[in-house]
């Protein structure tokens, strides 16, 4: 259904046009931070000693869904961990 034209909608549209690249860049920055965090979480399984490993184990259920995209972004076509067979 066509929405009614209003000045508010016009401004929202204008803002959306202009903030498109900016939102993208912020999303990229946040993803980079997340990627680093995931590396820290998986570090022990990748062979980098992590004293907090015991605690990060608790996070697994929360981040396991992101794992596949993460290893693809990190340039590993197949899952680097035997324990996680996502692909």
Give contact residues for another protein (rule: CB under 8 A). Answer: 11, 13-22, 24-29, 31, 69
Q: Report the residue number, 25 or 65, with the smaller CB distance to another protein.
A: 25
Q: Supply the DSSP string of 72-86, one letter for each residue.
A: HHTT-SS-S-SS---
In the complex, least distance from residue 86 CB atom to another protein, rounded to whole angstroms: 16
Q: Report the residue number, 7 or 17, with the smaller CB distance to another protein.
A: 17
Of the candidates 26, 76, 28, the residue with the CA atom closest to the CA atom of residue 67:
76
44 Cβ partners below 8 Å, 6+ apart?
50, 53, 56
Q: Report the residue number, 45 or 66, with the smaller CB distance to another protein.
A: 66
In the complex, least distance from residue 62 CB atom to another protein, rounded to whole angstroms: 18
């Amino acid at each position: 259904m066509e929405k009614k034209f209003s000045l508010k909608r016009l401004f929202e549209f204008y803002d959306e046009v202009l903030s498109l690249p900016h939102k993208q860049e912020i999303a990229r920055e946040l993803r980079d931070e997340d990627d680093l965090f995931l590396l820290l979480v998986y570090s022990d399984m990748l062979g980098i000693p992590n004293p907090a490993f015991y605690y990060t184990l608790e996070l697994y259920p929360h981040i396991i869904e992101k794992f596949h995209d993460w290893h693809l972004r990190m340039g590993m076509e197949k899952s680097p961990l035997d324990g996680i067979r996502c692909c």
